[in-house]
């Protein structure tokens, strides 16, 4: 039987490959920040509706990840960090990634609208559009400010979580958005400093490639300084409180010291110790965001006992 | 005629089918749970159905 060969197509995808298409690691950050946005809101949400809302926000984020992998398959194949993704690895066809991305986008937006409300659904739709079209298709390959503006896509989830609970947008949800938005540039530029050749090989105009590494170090410091008032200012809204304020002061001081150490160094020193400072600041920046959102959650959890908030 | 031995690709396809089935099953359970919650909380469930039902009228409307 000659057609048996047709069954032996190499690299046929398993279920896990389709899951990888949804960028599960990015999804975990989306789930966490959206959950915080939903739980710190002043309106209670039924647990089933809360669970469904977070699930559909995560699914929407996954859908935009699949669309990103469809569009970026050519540069993903060049970069070491992304070469093993399902599309460049030949496990999933680009067309499949597009179909899954579009299908899940529609499903997640409609289901979030039905489960929570249509403002949250509209924000999710805009987030998917922003990440897939504005960031992936337009900014990523055209400007070194790609990370700055593209960071908005990652900043929407807590705002969507808040909208699921309250049906609106408020100064608190805008501040949670601003916190992630301002955090993204120093976080990614610290990564770009030690992922040396990847971006230049792929022709992605990262700041390190277009303006040089000295300029990138300056940018890390300036954006970290701009981040501080946003992070500390959130302490004085209804979602903040003394626990958050203490956490914000310590973490921001630490982040500032890290950014200052990155700024003070040059390439010779950095290469000599294998980019130790850049790597440690990048790692710290992940804890920074996790702990700050954890502090919002702590304030909300303490409120019923008369301890959280001001 | 003997059946050919099972190829690795068949196992992968079976895994994929099971994955899709489980995902769809969980989706059905979730939609059912959402429906139960929305119905029992008394969210509005009636829509226009070609007959006059005063309970659907917006409160404070003049007609």
User: Best interface-test mutation with A: which of B7, B17, B30 has the largest number of A CBs within 10 A?
Assistant: B30
Which residue among B9, B16, B20 places its CB closest to the CB of A7? B9
pLDDT (mean) for A194-207: 78
**Alpha helices by DSSP H, A146-241:** 146-166, 171-194, 198-202, 207-210, 212-233
| B-proximal residues of A, 81-140, CB under 8 Å | 114-115
| CA distances (Å), origin A4, targets A104, A264, A301, B5, B7 | 33, 63, 60, 12, 10
User: Lowest-confidence range among A4-18, A228-242, A294-308, B2-16?
Assistant: A4-18
The token pair at A97 is: 């990634």
Options 1.10.3720.10, 1.10.357.140, 1.10.760.10, 3.40.47.10; CATH for A16-167 is: 1.10.357.140
Q: Is the pLDDT of residue A8 over 80?
A: no
What is the sign, positive or negative, of the torsion defined by CA atoms of A39, A44, A47, A53?
A: negative
The token pair at A61 is: 């984020």
What residue segments make up the domains of chain A, in order of their start? Answer: 16-167, 170-310
- pLDDT by residue (tens digit) across A296-308? 999 999 988 888 7
Give the ipTM of the model, two decimals please: 0.81
B21 — contact with chain A (CB < 8 Å)? Answer: no
B41:A15 CB<8 A: no
How distant is the Cα of A86 from the closest Cα of chain B, in angstroms? 15
- pLDDT by residue (tens digit) across A53-100? 999 999 999 999 999 999 999 998 988 888 889 999 988 999 999 999
């Amino acid at each position: 039987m000659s057609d048996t060969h047709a069954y032996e197509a190499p690299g046929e995808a398993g279920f896990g490959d389709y899951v990888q298409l949804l960028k599960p690691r990015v999804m975990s950050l989306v789930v966490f920040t959206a959950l915080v946005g939903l739980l710190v809101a002043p309106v209670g949400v039924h647990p089933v509706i809360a669970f469904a809302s977070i699930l559909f926000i995560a699914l929407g984020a996954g859908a935009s990840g699949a669309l990103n992998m469809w569009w970026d398959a050519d540069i993903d194949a060049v970069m070491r960090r992304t070469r093993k993704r399902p599309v460049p690895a030949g496990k999933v066809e680009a067309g499949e990634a597009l179909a899954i991305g579009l299908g899940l986008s529609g499903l997640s937006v409609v289901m979030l609208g039905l489960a929570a409300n249509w403002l949250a659904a509209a924000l999710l739709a805009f987030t998917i559009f922003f990440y897939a079209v504005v960031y992936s298709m337009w900014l990523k390959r055209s400007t070194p400010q790609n990370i700055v503006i593209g960071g908005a896509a990652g900043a929407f989830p807590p705002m969507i979580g808040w909208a699921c609970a309250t049906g609106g947008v408020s100064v608190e949800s805008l501040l949670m958005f601003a916190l992630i938005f301002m955090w993204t540039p120093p976080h990614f530029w610290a990564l770009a400093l030690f992922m040396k050749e990847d971006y230049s090989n792929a022709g992605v105009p990262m700041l390190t490639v277009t303006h040089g590494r000295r300029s990138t170090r300056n940018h890390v410091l300036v954006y970290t300084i701009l981040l501080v008032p946003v992070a500390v200012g959130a302490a004085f809204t209804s979602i903040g409180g003394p626990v958050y304020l203490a956490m914000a002061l310590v973490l921001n001081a630490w982040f500032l010291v890290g950014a200052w150490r990155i700024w003070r160094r040059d390439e010779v020193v950095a290469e000599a110790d294998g980019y130790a400072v850049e790597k440690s600041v990048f790692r710290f920046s992940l804890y920074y965001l996790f702990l700050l959102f954890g502090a919002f959650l702590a304030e909300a959890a303490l409120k019923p006992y008369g301890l959280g908030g001001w | 005629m003997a059946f050919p031995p099972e190829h690795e690709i068949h196992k992968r396809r079976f895994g994929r089918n099971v994955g899709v089935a489980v995902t769809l099953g969980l989706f059905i359970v979730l939609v059912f749970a959402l429906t139960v919650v929305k119905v029992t909380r008394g969210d509005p469930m009636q829509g226009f159905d070609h007959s006059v039902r005063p309970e659907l009228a917006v409160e404070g409307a003049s007609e």
